[in-house]
Amino acid sequence: MRAHVRVPATSANLGPGFDALGLALALHNEVIAEEGQGVTVRIEGEGADRLARDGNNVVARGVRLAYETAGRPFKGCALTCVNRIPTARGLGSSAAAWVGGLLAGNALAGAPLSKETLLALAARAEGHPDNVAAAIFGGLTVSCGTSEGVIAVALPVPPSLVWVVLVPEVTSSTAEARALLPQSVPRVDAVFNVQRVALLLASLQTARPAPLATALDDRLHQPYRLKLFPWLPEVAAAARAAGALGCVLSGAGPSLLAVVAGDGGPVARAMETTLRKAGVSGSARALAVDVDGATSQIR
Ligand code: HSE
**Cα 223 to ligand 1 centre (Å):** 14
Give the phi and the psi of residue 233 in degrees, each rounded to 5.
-60, -40
**Cα separation, 126 vs 132, whole angstroms:** 8
Name the percent of the chain in helix, strand, coil, to the closest 5: 35, 30, 35
Return the best residue to mutate from 25, 131, 172 for the ligand 1 pocket (most ligand atoms within 8 A of CB): 131
pLDDT of residue 65: 98
pLDDT of residue 58: 98
Q: What pLDDT digit, counting tens, does each position of 196-248 carry?
A: 999 999 999 999 999 999 999 999 999 999 999 999 999 999 999 999 999 99
Ligand 1 pocket: which residues have CB below 6 Å?
12-13, 18-19, 90, 128, 130-131, 174, 177-178, 221, 251-252
Q: What pLDDT digit, counting tens, does each position of 78-92 carry?
A: 999 999 999 999 999
**Cα separation, 165 vs 288, whole angstroms:** 10
The bridge status of strand 140-146 relative to strand 162-168 is unpaired
Neighbours of 241 (CB within 10 A): 12
The number of the ligand 1 atom at minimal distance from the alpha carbon of 12 is: 4
**Cα separation, 103 vs 124, whole angstroms:** 15
Instruction: Name which residue sits closest to atom 4 of ligand 1, judged by CA.
Output: 251
Q: What pLDDT digit, counting tens, does each position of 265-286 carry?
A: 999 999 999 999 999 999 999 9
What average pLDDT does the structure give for the chain?
A: 97
Fold match flag (2-155 vs 162-287): no
The bridge status of strand 38-45 relative to strand 76-83 is parallel
The number of the ligand 1 atom at minimal distance from the alpha carbon of 95 is: 8
User: What class does CATH assign to 2-155?
Assistant: alpha beta
CATH number for the domain running over 162-287: 3.30.70.890
Neighbours of 101 (CB within 10 A): 30
Q: Are 127 and 173 in contact (CB under 8 A)?
A: no
The number of the ligand 1 atom at minimal distance from the alpha carbon of 130 is: 1
Domain-wise residue ranges, the chain: 2-155, 162-287
Beta bridge partners of 256: 166, 249
Per-residue burial over 15-51, b = 16 or more CB atoms within 10 Å of its CB, e = otherwise: bbbbbbbbbbbebbbbbbbebeeebbbebeebbeeeb
Give residue 295's pLDDT band: very low, low, confident or very high (50, 70, 90): very high
Q: How many residues does the chain have?
A: 299
Integer CA distances (angstroms), 271 to 81, 89, 190, 274, in order: 31, 16, 29, 5
**Cα 65 to ligand 1 centre (Å):** 22
Instruction: Name which residue sits closest to atom 3 of ligand 1, judged by CA.
Output: 252
**Cα separation, 164 vs 268, whole angstroms:** 6
Q: What pLDDT digit, counting tens, does each position of 13-56 carry?
A: 999 999 999 999 999 999 999 999 999 999 999 999 999 999 99
pLDDT of residue 14: 98
DSSP string, 200-261: HHHHHHTT--TTHHHHT--SSSHHHHTTT-TTHHHHHHHHHHTTEEEEEE-TTSS-EEEEES
pTM above 0.85, yes or no: yes
**Cα separation, 41 vs 69, whole angstroms:** 22
Give residue 73's pLDDT band: very low, low, confident or very high (50, 70, 90): very high
The number of the ligand 1 atom at minimal distance from the alpha carbon of 131 is: 8
